[in-house]
Amino acid sequence: MRNTYRPKCFLETLIYFIIIPTISPQDWLRQGSAKVLLDVRSPGEFAHGHWPGARNLPLFSNEERAEVGTLYKQTSPDAAFLRGLEFVGQKMRWYVEEARRLAPEGKVVLHCWRGGQRSQSMAWLLAKALPEVTVIEGGYKALRHAGRALIAGLSRPLWILGGPTGAGKTKVLYALREQGATVIDLEEMAHHKGSSFGALGEAPQPTVEQFENDIFAAFAGLENSDEPIWLENESRSIGRVYLPNELWELMTHAALVQLAIPQDWRIENLVTDYASYPVEELIDAFNRIGKRLGGQHVKAATEAVQAGDFATAAAIALRYYDKAYQGSLEKNGQQPLFSLTPTDNNPNHQATQLLNAQRNWSRNKSET
């Protein structure tokens, strides 16, 4: 590790005389660390998007950051620096006590937006109070860039689990995970199941930036292996968040396996998953796809929901979603590698069949 920071003026030289070890974002992603990751950006920046597992130790409040930034642009860097010292000087004890609370063992890695003055300032202080302090080179911006590069250069194969609405793909993914497969659940991270009904029962969605960070961290946490990574076939958007371009590109060219599920099983799955939600929320979801489903069908679905006939409502929803799913495959140029017809509607059995089919296909390909 090396220190790459260079003071810009005499005042900074007085503060940054301690050499702080640094770590590259690539090494952080590859190695992980037992150290606590401290994000010293403002609470507003942290809330908009942060690295999963990071703790916020803000050098400036939202208001302080705005004032310092204005001085930097409109007056001078030195004026901004001096004003920043005024803010920081009042809170130096709090920084140390809060860092000790967040990292009882005293081992921390810091970052700000670009690995500049904020992280270096905090590192200088904490290095006097904690046994191990390291700064990530390039900060949060470099971490996100490294996450994108990691996915773009992924060597492990992706296998995409596809199938029409109601096929129970998410439950099969969970069963795959239980049987030892590597699974990344994008809908779990998005807090959305990917349809007009997808927000029912879910927590509020993260920001797009946070969603991307969660994905980057999930891939960074995987071990090196030749075994495939399983994901559910998704649209580019999941609710109001979007897949990173690098991942979307890989997914549209990855091996796609189609679950061929009879419609009565699909309706059964949808009733099991959605019938317990409030009637008003189900009707609102039908109204959101009203233009594409058609007023007559929306009316029929609404009446079915109000009557407690959820199977009929589910069958009406499939009129739209089946066309939409086939259209998305054609639009994205995705051709299923093969289709799997399960022997029953049991996700555990389906996962076993999938793994056997995938291994047989991979074995046959390696022999040819």
- What CATH number is associated with residue 38? 3.40.250.10
Query: What phi and psi values does residue 132 have, to the nearest 5 degrees?
Result: -135, 115
| Average pLDDT score, the chain | 91
B/e letters for 119-154, b = 16+ CB within 10 Å, e = fewer, are bbbbbbbbbeebebbbbbbbbbebbbebbbebbeee
> Residue 185 falls within a domain, yes or no?
yes
Residues 280 and 343 in one domain: yes
In the predicted model, is pLDDT for residue 8 greater than 60?
no
How many Cβ atoms from other residues are within 10 Å of residue 234's Cβ? 19
Is 321 among the domain residues? Answer: yes
Looking at the annotation, which residues are catalytic?
A: 112
Which residue, among 216, 211, 215, has the nearest Cα to 150 in the 3D structure? 216
Residue 141 above 60 pLDDT?
yes
> Do residues 139 and 163 both lie within one domain?
no
Q: Is residue 344 part of a domain?
A: yes
What is the identity of the amino acid at 176? L
Domain identity same for 133 and 214: no
The average pLDDT across 44-57 equals: 97
Q: What is the pLDDT of residue 16?
A: 47
Instruction: Examine the domain organization and report whether 84 and 110 are in the same domain.
Output: yes
Is residue 2 one of the residues assigned to a domain?
no
Structural domain boundaries, residue 64: 10-147
**What letter represents residue 17's amino acid?**
F
How confident is the model over 354-366, as a mean pLDDT?
A: 89
Domain at 231, CATH number: 3.40.50.300
The type of residue at 242 is Y
- Domain match, 356 and 307 both: yes
Q: For residues 261 and 342, is the Cβ–Cβ distance under 8 A?
A: yes
Phi-psi region of 114 (alpha: psi -120 to 50; beta: other; left: phi over 0): alpha
Q: Are 177 and 183 in contact (CB under 8 A)?
A: yes
Pick the last residue of a domain from 92, 119, 147.
147
Least confident of 42-56, 79-93, 169-183: 79-93
Report how many domains make up the chain: 2
Is the per-residue pLDDT at 263 higher than 80? yes
Question: Are residue 142 and residue 187 in the same domain, yes or no?
Answer: no
d(CA 211, CA 234): 14
State the virtual CA torsion across 101, 102, 107, 113 in degrees, nearest 10. Answer: -130
One domain for residues 111 and 259: no
Q: Which of 114, 147, 180 is the last residue of a domain?
A: 147
* pLDDT of 174 strictly over 80: yes
Mean pLDDT of 238-264: 95
Identify whether the C-beta of residue 243 lies closer than 8 Å to the C-beta of residue 236.
yes
**5-9, 245-249, 268-272: which has the minimum mean pLDDT?**
5-9
Same domain assignment for residues 174 and 277? yes
Residues 116 and 172 in one domain: no
The predicted pLDDT at position 245 comes to 96
Q: Give the span between the Cα atoms of 184 and 154, in whole angstroms.
A: 14
| pLDDT above 90 (res 157) | yes
- Whether residue 163 sits in one domain with residue 141: no
In whole angstroms, what is the distance from residue 52 CA to residue 55 CA? 9
pLDDT: is 295 or 365 the higher one?
A: 295
Are 212 and 269 in the same domain?
yes
What is the band of 6 on the pLDDT scale with cuts at 50, 70, 90? low
Same domain, 164 and 106: no
Q: Which pLDDT band holds residue 365 (cuts at 50, 70, 90)?
A: confident
Percentage of the chain surpassing pLDDT 70?
Answer: 95
Last residue of a domain, one of 147, 180, 208: 147
Q: What is the pLDDT of residues 21-31, one digit of tens each?
A: 999 999 998 88
